[in-house]
C-alpha cells in the first residue's frame, strides 16, 4: 500500500507539473500576443502622426500674414479622406506649386487684381496638364477639374487670423469627387511659396471671427470678437491621448 501511495503521489506531482508548464506556456503566448498588438498599435499611431504632421504645421514665416482684400486663392480638394487619396492630393499640390514657381514672378507686381486674373487664366491649361500628369504618375484614373472663379470656402485659419466662411475668388483643383480634406493657400499676392500649410479653424457656428476686409466678409454675417477663438491641433491632441493611454497601462 505504501508503494502504491508513493506511485500515486509521483503521478499526481507529475500531473501538477505538467499543468503548471502548460499554464506558463499559455501565459508566455498571451504576453507575446500582447507585445505584437502593442507594437502594431504603436506603428499605426506613428503612421497617423506622420500623415497628420504636414497637414497641421504652419510656417512661422507667415505668422503675421493677413490675406489682403484683392487676392486669389488656390484650393485643392482631395477625392476622399482615404490615406491614399490624401497622399495623391499632396503630390498634386507639390507639382502645382513647383510649376507656379516658374511664373510667379509675373504676379509679384501686377498693375491690378484684373492683371493677375488674366495671367492666372492663361496658365489654367498648364495647371490642368500638370494635375493630369501627376494623377497618372500615381496610378490614379479618376477625373479632375481646374477652374478659376468665385467658390465657397469654410472658416479658415491663416497666419494667426481667422477668416469666415464665404465665397472667394480662387483657382480650385477638384480631384475625383472632391469630398476629401483640402489644402489651400493664397496665390495672389504670392503667399503659397512661404506658407507650408494651413488648417481649418475649429470655431463653432456661434463663434464670431475677424474678417480680412469688409468686401470679403459680405454675406458671411461675421463680426470681430474680443476673445480670440481657441484653435486646437489634431497632432497635439493625438500625442496627448496616446501618452495618456500609455500611462494608463502602468497605473
pLDDT at position 80 is 94
**Number of domains comprising the chain:** 2
pLDDT at position 187 is 83
CA 75, CA 137: separation in Å to the nearest integer? 21
Same domain, 140 and 224: yes
What angle in degrees, to the nearest 10, is found between the helix axes of 2-56 and 234-249?
170
Same domain, 144 and 223: yes
Same domain, 43 and 150: no
pLDDT at position 156 is 77
Q: Which domain holds residue 32?
A: 1-56
Which segments of the chain have a pLDDT < 70? 1-40, 45-66, 104-111, 158-159, 191, 193-251
Q: Taking the model in full, what pTM does it have? A: 0.54
**H-state helical runs in the chain:** 2-56, 83-101, 113-137, 234-249
CA 157, CA 201: separation in Å to the nearest integer? 5
Same domain, 52 and 66: no
pLDDT at position 114 is 85
Closest C-alpha to 169, from 195, 196, 147, 191: 147
pLDDT at position 96 is 92
Q: Which residues contact 1 (CB under 8 A, 6 or more apart)?
A: none
Task: Please report whether residue 103 resides in a domain.
Answer: yes
CA 243, CA 223: separation in Å to the nearest integer? 38
Residue positions counted in the chain: 251
pLDDT at position 107 is 64
Same domain, 46 and 73: no
Amino acid at each position: 500500500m505504501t508503494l502504491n501511495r508513493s506511485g500515486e503521489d509521483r503521478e499526481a506531482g507529475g500531473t501538477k507539473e505538467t499543468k503548471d508548464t502548460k499554464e506558463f506556456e499559455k501565459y508566455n503566448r498571451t504576453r507575446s500576443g500582447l507585445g505584437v498588438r502593442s507594437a502594431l498599435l504603436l506603428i499605426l499611431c506613428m503612421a497617423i502622426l506622420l500623415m497628420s504632421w504636414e497637414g497641421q504645421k504652419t510656417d512661422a514665416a507667415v505668422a503675421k500674414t493677413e490675406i489682403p482684400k484683392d487676392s486669389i486663392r488656390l484650393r485643392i480638394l482631395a477625392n476622399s479622406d482615404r490615406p491614399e487619396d490624401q497622399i495623391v492630393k499632396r503630390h498634386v499640390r507639390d507639382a502645382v506649386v513647383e510649376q507656379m514657381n516658374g511664373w510667379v514672378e509675373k504676379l509679384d507686381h501686377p498693375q491690378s487684381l484684373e492683371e493677375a486674373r488674366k495671367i492666372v487664366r492663361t496658365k489654367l491649361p498648364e495647371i490642368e496638364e500638370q494635375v493630369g500628369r501627376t494623377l497618372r504618375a500615381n496610378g490614379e484614373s479618376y477625373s479632375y477639374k481646374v477652374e478659376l472663379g468665385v467658390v465657397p470656402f469654410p472658416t479658415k485659419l491663416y497666419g494667426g487670423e481667422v477668416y469666415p466662411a464665404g465665397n472667394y475668388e480662387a483657382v480650385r483643383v477638384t480631384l475625383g469627387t472632391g469630398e476629401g480634406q483640402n489644402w489651400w493657400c493664397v496665390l495672389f499676392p504670392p503667399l503659397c511659396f512661404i506658407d507650408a500649410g494651413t488648417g481649418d479653424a475649429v470655431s463653432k457656428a456661434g463663434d464670431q471671427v475677424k474678417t480680412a476686409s469688409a468686401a470679403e466678409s459680405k454675406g458671411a454675417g461675421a463680426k470681430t470678437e474680443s476673445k480670440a477663438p481657441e484653435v486646437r491641433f489634431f497632432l497635439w491632441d493625438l500625442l496627448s491621448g496616446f501618452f495618456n493611454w500609455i500611462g494608463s497601462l502602468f497605473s
